[in-house]
């Protein structure tokens, strides 16, 4: 991304307390998006959300719903995010220099846990899609490679023996929407397809080096390109399925193990390792699909309720109306 665009996206940070991590996601990254009325979406990672919100309330009181400010301030804002939601507080419809922003604030510890283990599969799902990192004091960009590898393994389990790069990226993109309640009525039904088609080059930049690693291990084979994308083949045998399951994040493997069973074995260093019992590729894929769908359903429901409480009635209705308008257009 050109320096001028990156500097423009970072302009919001001048008006906020310091953060440990910041990335922009969503339609603002579309190469041909010149619409200034589009709300730009940010994720902000901070070490102590209550302290950060306390500072931000002094600087930007108008970013918050008045009910949250008067009823409990920074403490209530943080409690609602942690106890009702999945640890993220969003301030939407923030206007700065005639541009509209939405930013979500999360504790760095929770962000790292989700990226590495898919604890809630909320922010980790967002980081499986193209983002523009603006601040990264704790090297989340490097940690996120674990998240991306998990996404590739999960997508491969759900894909047939032969597919295109676009199919792979669409399957990766769809993981964090499986079970999302908003997809029933408040999201564009073609959202996944549009994201991948518009941001295809960004997906390639993210995933191509990791796909080459899978190729080097013999898990994938690449044949002649269809246009500017590769045709990919994979071995659908049981041993490869077991390998893919073993490379999923620990929380997912643990929940799959509860359904399919686990066995233990000793590593070369003498550590006891738990492995999910994989009887067939299809069974493993369906089990994983169910685990992810439940994670997304719970997280999206909790975050939706948290958002309604945190942003106040007027902003909640405004945000939902915007979403439903897009959904309606996609259905008609």
* pLDDT of 171: 96
**pLDDT above 50 for 330:** no
State yes or no: pLDDT of 327 exceeds 50. Answer: no
Confidence of residue 269 (pLDDT cuts 50, 70, 90): confident
Which DSSP category does 41 fall into? E
The confidence score (pLDDT) of residue 186 equals 45
- Averaged confidence pLDDT in the chain: 88
Cα separation, 27 vs 199, whole angstroms: 9
Q: Is the pLDDT of residue 167 over 70?
A: yes
Highest mean pLDDT: which of 103-112, 172-181, 221-230?
A: 103-112
pLDDT at 224: 74
Give me the sign of the Cα torsion angle 140, 146, 148, 150. Answer: negative
For position 56, what pLDDT does the model report?
97
Contacts of 58 (CB under 8 A, 6+ apart): none
Is 76 a residue whose pLDDT tops 70? yes
In angstroms, what CA-CA distances link 244 with 84, 97, 230, 260, 290? 33, 47, 21, 15, 16
275-280-282 Cα angle (round to 5):
115
pLDDT top residue among 263 and 314 = 263
pLDDT in tens, 83-93: 999 999 999 99
98: left (phi over 0), alpha (psi -120 to 50) or beta: left
């Amino acid at each position: 991304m050109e320096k001028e665009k990156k500097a423009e996206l970072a302009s919001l940070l001048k008006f906020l307390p310091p953060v440990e991590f910041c990335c922009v996601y969503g339609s603002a990254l579309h190469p041909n998006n010149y619409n200034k009325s589009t709300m730009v979406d940010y994720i902000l990672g901070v070490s102590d959300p209550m302290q950060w919100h306390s500072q931000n309330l002094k600087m930007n009181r108008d970013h918050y719903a008045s009910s949250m400010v008067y009823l409990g301030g920074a403490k209530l804002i943080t409690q609602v995010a942690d106890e009702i939601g999945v640890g993220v507080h969003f301030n939407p419809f923030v206007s700065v220099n005639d541009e509209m922003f939405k930013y979500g604030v999360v504790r760095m510890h929770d962000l790292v846990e989700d990226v590495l283990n898919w604890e809630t599969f909320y922010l980790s799902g967002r980081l499986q899609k193209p983002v523009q990192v603006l601040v990264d004091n704790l090297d989340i960009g490097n940690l996120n490679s674990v998240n991306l590898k998990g996404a590739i393994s999960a997508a491969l389990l759900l894909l047939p023996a032969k597919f295109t790069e676009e199919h792979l990226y669409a399957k990766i993109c769809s993981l964090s929407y499986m079970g999302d309640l908003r997809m029933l009525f408040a999201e564009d039904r073609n959202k996944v397809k549009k994201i991948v088609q518009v941001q295809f080059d960004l997906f390639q930049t993210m995933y191509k080096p990791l796909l080459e690693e899978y190729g080097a291990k013999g898990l994938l084979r690449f044949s002649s390109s269809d246009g500017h994308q590769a045709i990919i083949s994979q071995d659908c045998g049981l041993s490869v399925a077991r390998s893919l399951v073993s490379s999923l994040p620990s929380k997912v493997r643990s929940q799959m193990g509860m359904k399919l069973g686990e066995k233990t074995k000793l590593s070369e260093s003498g550590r006891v390792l738990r492995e999910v019992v994989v009887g067939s590729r299809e069974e493993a894929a369906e089990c994983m699909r169910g685990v992810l769908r439940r994670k997304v359903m719970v997280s999206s429901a909790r975050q939706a309720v948290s958002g309604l409480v945190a942003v106040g009635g007027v902003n909640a209705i405004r945000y939902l109306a915007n979403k439903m308008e897009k959904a309606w257009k996609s259905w008609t």
